[in-house]
Amino acid sequence: MEKLVIKGPTPLKGEVTISGAKNAAVAILPATLLIDGVCTIENLPNISDIKISCEILEQLGAKITWNNEHSITIDTTNITTTKAPLDLTSKFRASYYIIGAMLGRKGEIEVGMPGGCKLGARPIDQHIKGFEMLGATVNLEKGTIYAKAKKLKAAPIYMDIVSVGATINVMLASVLAKGTTTIDNAAKEPHIVDVANFLNTMGADIRGAGTDVIKINGVEKLNGGCTYSVVPDQIEAGTFMLAAVATRGDLTLKNCITKHLESITAKIVEVGGNVEDNGDSIRIWCNKRPNNANIKTLPYPGFPTDLQPQMGVVLALANGTSVINESIWESRFQYTEELNKMGAKITAQGKTAFFEGVKKLYGAPVYSSDLRAGAALVIAGTAAEGETEIYNLEHIDRGYENIEEKFRKIGAKIERVKE
Residues that bind ligand EPU (CB under 6 A): 23, 26, 93-94, 117, 121-127, 161, 163-166, 187, 305-306, 328-329, 371-372, 399
Maximum Cα interatomic distance, the chain, rounded to a whole number of Å: 62
Which is nearer to ligand EPU, 63 or 158 (by Cβ)? Answer: 158
Q: Please say whether the beta carbons of 28 and 194 come within 8 A.
A: yes
Which is nearer to ligand EPU, 244 or 371 (by Cβ)? Answer: 371
Q: How far is the CB of 341 from ligand EPU (least distance, A)?
A: 22
Q: How far is the CB of 36 from ligand EPU (least distance, A)?
A: 26
Which is nearer to ligand EPU, 22 or 406 (by Cβ)? Answer: 22
Q: Please say whether the beta carbons of 187 and 162 come within 8 A.
A: yes
Distance CA 226, CA 238 (A): 30
Which is nearer to ligand EPU, 110 or 306 (by Cβ)? Answer: 306
Q: Please say whether the beta carbons of 324 and 295 come within 8 A.
A: yes
276: exposed, middle or buried (Cβ count in 10 Å: 0-12, 13-18, 19+): exposed
Q: How far is the CB of 165 from ligand EPU (least distance, A)?
A: 3
Which is nearer to ligand EPU, 13 or 129 (by Cβ)? Answer: 129
Q: How far is the CB of 370 from ligand EPU (least distance, A)?
A: 7
Which is nearer to ligand EPU, 318 or 376 (by Cβ)? Answer: 376
Count of positions (residues) in the chain: 419
Which is nearer to ligand EPU, 23 or 258 (by Cβ)? Answer: 23
Question: For residues 343-375, b (16+ Cβ closer than 10 Å) or e, as one string?
Answer: bbebebeebebebebbeebbbbebbbbbbbbbb
Q: How far is the CB of 158 from ligand EPU (least distance, A)?
A: 13
Q: How far is the CB of 262 from ligand EPU (least distance, A)?
A: 16
The H-assigned helical ranges of 94-186 are: 97-106, 125-133, 164-174
Per DSSP, the three-state class of 44 is: coil
Which of these, 192, 230, 233, 194, lies nearest to 213 by C-alpha position? 192
CA Rg value for the chain: 21
Pick the catalytic residue from 117, 226, 256, 286.
Answer: 117
Which of these, 410, 68, 387, 24, lies nearest to 233 by C-alpha position? 24
Which is nearer to ligand EPU, 94 or 410 (by Cβ)? Answer: 94
Distance CA 211, CA 223 (A): 26
Q: Is 226 a catalytic residue?
A: no
Q: How far is the CB of 329 from ligand EPU (least distance, A)?
A: 6
Q: How far is the CB of 136 from ligand EPU (least distance, A)?
A: 15
Per DSSP, the three-state class of 163 is: coil
Which amino acids are annotated catalytic?
Answer: 117
